[in-house]
Amino acid sequence: MFIGTLKITFRASWVHSLKEKRMIVQSLISKTRNTFNVSIHEVENMDRHQWIVIGIALVSNSPRELNHTLDKVLQFMEAHTEAELIASELEIL
């Protein structure tokens, strides 16, 4: 069994309130969860309205499959938000 984790950091410079940020984050998380069936949650900087840090976890029997799926998740999330992708950290255990 292998576990893949992906931490993605976005910056949304136009967001001016936590309420506005929550709407963006909830939409992105639900779209991603429904498309890929992954465990996903906002993990850091929850009280900073212009920074979005999302953590994703996935279990598989193949590290190659994990890498492929998490790459697809990253591409999907980048395509479905106007926020700027700052960083992504992929780890397979």
User: Total structural domains in the chain?
Assistant: 1
**Which residues are paired to 92 by β-bridges?**
4
**Enclosing domain of residue 46:** 2-54+62-92
Is residue 24 within 8 A of residue 81, CB to CB? The reply is: yes
pTM for the model: 0.92
pLDDT in tens, 8-65: 999 999 999 999 999 999 999 999 999 999 999 999 989 999 999 999 999 999 999 9
Sheet of 2-11, strands arranged across = 39-44, 51-60, 2-11, 84-92
CATH for 82:
3.30.70.1120
How many angstroms separate the Cα of 13 from the Cα of each of 23, 90, 92? 15, 24, 31
